[in-house]
Structure 1
Amino acid sequence: MAAGCASPWIACCAVAEETATAATGSDVSPAQVGELPVDQQVRWLRAAAQSGALERLDDAQLLALFQSFDPLTVPRYIKEGPNGYPSYEFTMVRQERIRGIWPRRPDQMLVRLTRQPLRIYAKWLPDGAHSGQEIIYDESIRRDEVYGHLGGLLSVIPMWASLNGALAHAQSNHQVRDLGTEFIVSRFLAEGERVAQTGITRLSQIEVKTIDGVRVVAFTYETPTGRPEYYAKKETLGLDLRHPWFRSAESYDNEGRLFEKIVFKTITPETFDDSTFDPKNPAYRF
């Protein structure tokens, strides 16, 4: 890693390597991790992320570290998870190209989600498109329907709508069930495996970026044929520096146009009671 640090930063990089080594409880510094077998690289990466040592590395160190990894290390690290919290609240920024049109303003959303059963409350926040809209989904009550006010008359009159109906897809190409970190992870693993089967194992690009205030290691990969065989022709996914999931996703179509951008700004584990997913909650506007 010191190779990525030119004078007068050599001393600073050496201190950072010592800090990362001590925090992970390993005698292996970031500059040496790439020489380890894949299993040991994965264990080192997990320990560095959990201890906070990974996010304390500067951009040059992070870039050199991830460039040194075996191509299987990051997919293995992500696959072994966990890919999200069992119950959590997150805020997100999202934009999608709907019927060929890129929105002028992104959606700003607050989402509360718990699993087993899957239950979701989502609210569109001020300063974003569709501000004030709300939905609730509870698979234990109606697996194939969502309740809410989504726009137009529904901004005043809440009602049930099909998960796959025209109303639910008026503002998104996704189901409400796709909200959360797990969906992006599952897509990455499935598509990555298919791409690897074609003989492509190296990423097109690795960068360290700050997107909407979120610092990530961003991986860009291209699929052989693009859509519709794959979700996107090109994807750029931003890895969280403390957990094995993605904080950002940018998807491009076969013409190179961005058709989806998602950034998880905050992700916080929470415990919710039944009122969180009850339309009669007085804090909501159903």
Structure 2
Amino acid sequence: MPRARWRRRASDLRFACAHLTACAVLGGFLGPVLAHAQTSAGEWVTAAAQAPDIARVGTLGVEQQAQWLAKSTASGALAKLDDAQLVALFRALDPDALRRYLQEGLRDYTSYEFTMWRRERIRGKWPKRADHMLVRITREPLRIYAKWLPDGAHAGQEVIYDDSKRPDELYGHLGGFLGVVPMWTSVNGALARAQSNHSIRELGIEAITQRFIDEGRRFAEAGITKPANIEVKTVHGLRVVAFTYETPAGQPEFYAKKEILGLDLERPLLRTLESFDNEGHVFESVVFEHIQLKRFDDLTFDPRNPDYRF
């Protein structure tokens, strides 16, 4: 065989081998991509929740990121991530995805019971002890029973609110030996606001979540697109992802100059909150301790309930 023809055939053989190798490599690389293109977004989100790829999750749209968070929380995958992974994940997510995820999560909490620790600065004074409260809530209509527990401030107090019966009033007593006589009072009156800057209607998960969503829109308008800090903390024994938001203007344009919100890793809920004024002083602290979905009968929101002290 002439030398030139042998060299040409050898070159052709090397090209064919290289072409086959490239096809194999490219096929191995594109296979998952093509497979991903053929599967629905929902199927991919489910698969990603089982084996999270933080970089890829960060490229999803807002709706898909919210779905991923919901599925990862439900499967327990989110809680299994270590601190560094959690911080990297939430830095990669679109801020709107967290708000969408929390908004969707509220749908399950139409009737529930929780205990909470709460402190508020009232007329410039920070209380020495936190309120420890048991709260039962239903929505549509909004009905609330709250009791102040023995190991917190204002122990023994009870209040009932029923939006379907008296939307502008609550029924309660101060507790203690001299304060057991119950009375009706305005939800915005001096007695109702003596221990809180908020209406009883704002007692619950929904109010804090909705405020975070509403403030998020104002953050975006002010050019605040990301939290100032993201870290993993343990608060009252709860492991949470803590998001710190700081505003340039502070109060009164925003609810707080700085807020630190703690995200539950096992449910789509905000579990902790700290709010700071323009001078850097904390003026509100909330920890939702134990939360349980429950169905209640009418007696739960009736002062004649024999378990209550009205």
TM-score normalized by structure 2?
Answer: 0.81
CA contact (8 A) 1:146 1:160 kept: yes
Three-state SS of the structure 1 residue aligned to 2:105 is coil
CA distance in 2, matches of 1:28, 1:282: 51
Question: Deviations for 1:127-169, whole angstroms, at most 9, x for unmatched residues?
Answer: 1000111000011111011101136887221100110011111
Query: Where does residue 276 of structure 2 map in the other structure?
Result: 252
Q: 1:213 to 1:84 in 2, by over 3 A?
A: farther
CA distance in 1, matches of 2:138, 2:202: 13
- Map residues 206-217 of structure 1 onto 2, 5 A cutoff: 206-217=230-241
Three-state SS of the structure 2 residue aligned to 1:160 is strand
Query: Where does residue 226 of structure 1 map in the other structure?
Result: 250
- Map residues 132-151 of structure 1 onto 2, 5 A cutoff: 132-150=156-174
CA distance in 2, matches of 1:151, 1:126: 11
CA contact (8 A) 1:169 1:175 kept: yes
- Map residues 70-109 of structure 1 onto 2, 5 A cutoff: 70-82=94-106, 85-109=109-133
Whether 2:46 is the aligned partner of 1:29: answer no
Name the % identity. 62
In the alignment, residue 29 of structure 1 is paired with which amino acid? Answer: P
| C-alpha deviation, 1:72, in angstroms | 2.7
Query: Where does residue 198 of structure 2 map in the other structure?
Result: 174
Query: Where does residue 67 of structure 1 map in the other structure?
Result: 91
Q: How many residues align?
A: 266
In the alignment, residue 186 of structure 2 is paired with which amino acid? Answer: S
In the alignment, residue 220 of structure 1 is paired with which amino acid? Answer: T
CA distance in 2, matches of 1:257, 1:83: 34
In the alignment, residue 308 of structure 2 is paired with which amino acid? Answer: Y
CA distance in 1, matches of 2:60, 2:166: 49
CA contact (8 A) 2:228 2:246 kept: yes
Query: Where does residue 11 of structure 1 map in the other structure?
Result: none
CA distance in 2, matches of 1:152, 1:164: 23
| C-alpha deviation, 1:242, in angstroms | 2.5
CA distance in 2, matches of 1:249, 1:154: 34
Q: 1:181 to 1:139 in 2, by over 3 A?
A: same
Q: Which of the pair has the greater relative contact order for Cα pairs under 8 Å at 6+ separation?
A: 1
CA distance in 1, matches of 2:134, 2:236: 16
Higher helix proportion (structure 1 or 2) = 2
- Give structure 1 stretches of 5+ with no counterpart: 1-21
CA contact (8 A) 1:83 1:185 kept: no
Query: Where does residue 287 of structure 2 map in the other structure?
Result: 263
Query: Where does residue 69 of structure 2 map in the other structure?
Result: 45
CA distance in 2, matches of 1:53, 1:178: 32
CA distance in 2, matches of 1:37, 1:121: 40
CA distance in 2, matches of 1:177, 1:184: 11
| C-alpha deviation, 1:99, in angstroms | 0.5
CA distance in 2, matches of 1:272, 1:258: 35
CA distance in 2, matches of 1:70, 1:185: 17
| C-alpha deviation, 1:36, in angstroms | 3.0
| C-alpha deviation, 1:68, in angstroms | 1.8
- Give structure 2 stretches of 5+ with no counterpart: 1-43
RMSD: 2.1
CA contact (8 A) 1:195 1:224 kept: no
| C-alpha deviation, 1:198, in angstroms | 1.7
Q: 1:154 to 1:161 in 2, by over 3 A?
A: farther
CA distance in 2, matches of 1:283, 1:60: 47
Bigger shift: residues 118-127 or 153-162 = 153-162
CA distance in 2, matches of 1:247, 1:126: 22
CA contact (8 A) 1:83 1:244 kept: no
Question: Deviations for 1:50-101, whole angstroms, at most 9, x for unmatched residues?
Answer: 1111112222221121122123321222233336511000000000001100
CA distance in 1, matches of 2:68, 2:139: 29
In the alignment, residue 170 of structure 2 is paired with which amino acid? Answer: V
CA contact (8 A) 1:84 1:245 kept: no
CA contact (8 A) 1:83 1:181 kept: no
In the alignment, residue 70 of structure 1 is paired with which amino acid? Answer: D
